[in-house]
Structure 1
């Protein structure tokens, strides 16, 4: 399935949620969609759980800034 079709389906789901459920349902569907997207990326192996918890290192090897 192409990314355009996935975007179309996601947009339609958000549109239906907004129309029938109001703004609260729209936000809920968007948040659950983002969680599902991240879970899918984790299971596919494109993303690692440690990526959410590691801080980017800048500076020396020991992580200290100058």
Structure 2
């Protein structure tokens, strides 16, 4: 199945949920769809648990933390 068809089906599911169930159902379907997408990427091997739960290094946060700047 192409990504365009998958996107079409997801959009139709969200549309039906929003129309028949209201905004709460729309949000629930969107959240569960995101969880399913992430789970599918994980099971396919495209996403690893370390990518999600890895602590950030000082270099990734930017050098302003290392210099002690207090700008906001």
TM bucket normalised to smaller: 0.7 to 0.9
Partner of 1:15: 15
Partner of 2:27: 27
- In the TM superposition, structure 1's runs of 4+ consecutive aligned residues that sit over 6 Å from their partners are none
Number of paired residues?
A: 62
The RMSD of aligned alpha carbons is 1.7
TM-score after normalising by structure 1? 0.85
The CA deviation at 1:50 is: 1.3
| Rg (Cα) greater in structure | 2
Within 2, Cα distance between the matches of 1:53 and 1:15? 32
Q: What are the superposed Cα offsets for residues 1-57 of structure 1, whole Å, 9 maximum, x if unpaired?
A: 111000000000000000000000000000000000000000000000111111332
TM-score after normalising by structure 2? 0.78
Which residues of structure 1 form unaligned runs of 5+? 60-64
